[in-house]
Amino acid sequence: MLKKLIILPLIFLSNILWSQTENLSEKQEQYKDIEQVVVTATRTERKLKDVPVTAQVITSEAIEKSKMANFRDFMEQELAGVEFTNNGGHANINMMGFGGKYVLFLIDGERMAGETFDNIDYNRIDMNNIERVEIVKGASSSLYGSNAIGGVINIITKKLKKPLQISASALYGSNKDQNYNLTFGTKQKWGSAGFSAFYKSRDPYLLTDTEALKQEYTHGNIVEQKLSSTYIAGYTDYGFSPNVSIKITPKIQTEINTGFYFQERNTGGLDGFKVRDQFHNFRTGMKTSFQLRENSNLVVSESYDEYQKFDFYKLLNQKDKNYENKIWRVGSIYDVQLFGKHSLVAGAEAFSEDLFTFMFVSDGSGAKRDAQNYSLFTQQEWKLADAFTLVTGARYDYHSQFKGHPTFRLSGMYKVNKNMTLRGGYSGGFRAPTLKELYTDWFHPYGGGFQIIGNNNMKAEKSNNFNISSDLNFKKLNITLMAQYSKIQDKINANWVSSDTVQYINVGKTDVFSSEVSLSYRLRKSLLLKGAYTYVYENPQKRSITRPHTATVRADYTLDFLKKYAPTISFSGKYFSSMNTFGTADITDVDNTTGIDTHTEEYKIYYEPYSIWRLQLSAPLLFNFTASAGINNLFDYKTKFSSFYSSISPGRTYYIGLKWDLN
């Protein structure tokens, strides 16, 4: 019933919007965003308007306008359905009801090594080197295998387009936020060569409770936790990425990409003074493209990514490795156009992962585990009519622990006319338990102490995803409506199995329903308005850690009467609804008749709604310089108590920046 109550109004609204805008001229130009070439949804190049699978693109222009140095902050502010929480001091994503272990992150189509609390290290990502971010929401395992139950986020790095390109930028803000970027390169007849580097730093800061966190128990008891202070970690990051592309012949081209990243994380206070976390990353990859015929191509690629963590004892100037994750991947993709209308993509991949961590052996001495996966996949686009395209896809994965597993896709795209497109269909998903979930054996020293253990008898998670979307594109107006429903079987959670032991187990079924409405409207040449609203419902609700309602708004106003040096004023905000989280605790009662009684009782914690707003100014100057300034958290919101699912904003902060671009 809930699904009908939400899906039917979306379809009804789509029809109303179409009826009110169908009198617009068919000759009007659509937004240039839908002309973007994307690759993630089909693993071949397609214009966004022609992609038969629901996808979203964030352009480099949007990233540049945001003036954000941190990928986590940018994604949370830009996308209504994305929220980050603070788990153990590390960022933890939630996208449309799916956590980090269900969202596959890629850089130029390659997986990223290293995770903390099921999330990649978002600080690795150089914001200045992003050409676009492509997002496919919903299960995509038929193309990408494990970990793509909730969607795929592919970060496409910039490609050189001119004989000489140089840019440099600096940004300074509150809490000693610093961000410096440098890129340069050249494109010639033989190919191209480029280099990108960044440096970021921020001091740790303290969040102090003004109200107590309250645990409301089933039988009416309320337990208030003591007021406390929580440090939000600071960091020093730097990285660089050289790349080379060589045109061997007119039909053969090779690309080589490498990257190095370093972070030193300061948890703050006395602990941060004594011991720091250090993170090292090295990645490299090579991709060779062969144009076999005018309508067919073959791409052969390989990649390697290594991520390490160290305990750095600052006073002793010594460090100990406690984590190392290595992934290798080799693969090939063949695509061909058939009969001038249909297209076929087929590929094969071999993937291997090694993980070393002190959490694999109970005494903390460290051990190494590994897993391999081999896969074959194909996806076909059948253009059955000028207006209708049918997509079929299948993938077979053979995992060293879980053996064979097939996934499938069946979806379609119908172009009602030049302005309206409908998409929808079914996609399967699966997620093999991670090495951490299989083999962990670690004593957690905090919270009284308890053991966390893995479970190599678990089943792989499976999902069935159904989605529908509607796009309306006109000269001044773009509207997208989307709804999806996912049924997950054999979901894996870390659950208490005794008073002193947490174990990874299959906990059963979970249903996730989400819907999103987004629009972009250019009221006039100088004013652009954008907004989005997302609703998420999970069943069982008591497992959910998702705020059910989120929304974003943005207004960009350019003073175009100043012509070449016209500044742009941007006002944006994001709203997060309230939510409840649930847990259990051992309660001891003393009764004069029965004596001491210890039992487990459920409690809930209420998290208030809040919103974060930003105001910023950007203005072009002489000699290719651009100046910027802004206020983050304009209305100075601060959480009343700091916990896993509350805001980590320190309150109102400021920044100024300067960029020079020779293009």
8 A C-beta contact, residue 198 and residue 239: yes
Q: Which two tokens stand for residue 317?
A: 């100037």
Question: Which alpha helices (DSSP H) does 522-643 contain, by range?
Answer: none
* Cα–Cα dist 151/153, whole Å: 7
- Residue 181's H or E segment, with its range, is strand 177-188
- Residue 143's H or E segment, with its range, is helix 141-144
At residue 67's C-alpha, the angle toward residues 65 and 70, to 5°, is: 130
Q: Which two tokens stand for residue 575?
A: 């709203």
Which of these, 210, 268, 224, lies nearest to 638 by C-alpha position?
210
Structure pTM? 0.91
Whole-number pLDDT of residue 6: 40
* Cα–Cα dist 62/135, whole Å: 15
**Residue 262 region by backbone torsions, left for phi larger than 0, else alpha for psi between -120 and 50, else beta:** beta
Question: Which DSSP symbol is given to 651?
Answer: S
Domain boundaries, given as residue ranges, for the chain = 2-662
659: burial class by Cβ within 10 Å (0-12, 13-18, 19+)?
buried
Positive or negative, the CA dihedral 416, 422, 428, 429 is positive
User: Which of the following CATH numbers is that of domain 2-662: 1.10.357.10, 3.30.60.50, 3.40.30.10, 2.40.170.20?
Assistant: 2.40.170.20
Which residues are registered as beta bridge partners of 207? 230
* Cα–Cα dist 649/85, whole Å: 11
SS3 state of residue 9: helix
- Measured in whole angstroms, the distance separating CA 342 from the mean position of its chain's CA atoms is 32
Gyration radius of the chain over CA positions: 25
Q: What is the 3-state secondary structure (H, E, C) of 346-377?
A: EEEEEEEEEEEEHHHCCCCCCEEEEEEEEEEE
8 A C-beta contact, residue 630 and residue 149: no
**Mean pLDDT of residues grouped by 10 in the chain (663 residues)?**
40 41 37 74 87 89 87 92 85 92 94 90 93 92 92 94 94 93 95 96 95 91 92 95 96 96 94 93 97 93 97 93 96 91 94 94 82 96 93 95 92 94 95 93 82 92 95 91 96 86 92 96 91 95 90 94 88 96 78 67 93 96 95 96 92 96 84
* Cα–Cα dist 93/545, whole Å: 11
Which of these, 548, 549, 556, 550, lies nearest to 572 by C-alpha position?
556
At residue 20's C-alpha, the angle toward residues 19 and 22, to 5°, is: 65
8 A C-beta contact, residue 613 and residue 634: yes
How many other β-carbons are positioned within 10 Å of the β-carbon of residue 332? 15
Question: Which DSSP symbol is given to 119?
Answer: B
Which of these, 513, 511, 509, lies nearest to 484 by C-alpha position?
513
Whole-number pLDDT of residue 4: 42
8 A C-beta contact, residue 325 and residue 293: no
8 A C-beta contact, residue 42 and residue 51: yes
140: burial class by Cβ within 10 Å (0-12, 13-18, 19+)?
buried
For the CA atoms of 463, 373, 358, 92, what is the dihedral angle to 10 degrees? -40
- Residue 623 backbone phi and psi in degrees, to 5: 60, 35
Whole-number pLDDT of residue 595: 61
Which residues are within 8 A (CB) of 6 and not within 5 positions of it... i.e. 6 or more apart?
483, 513, 515, 535
Which residues are within 8 A (CB) of 649 and not within 5 positions of it... i.e. 6 or more apart?
612, 632, 633, 637, 638, 639
Whole-number pLDDT of residue 90: 84
Question: Which DSSP symbol is given to 116?
Answer: B
Q: Which two tokens stand for residue 646?
A: 């509350």
**What Å distances lie between residue 127 and 58, 65, 629, CA to CA?**
12, 12, 18
At residue 4's C-alpha, the angle toward residues 51 and 541, to 5°, is: 95
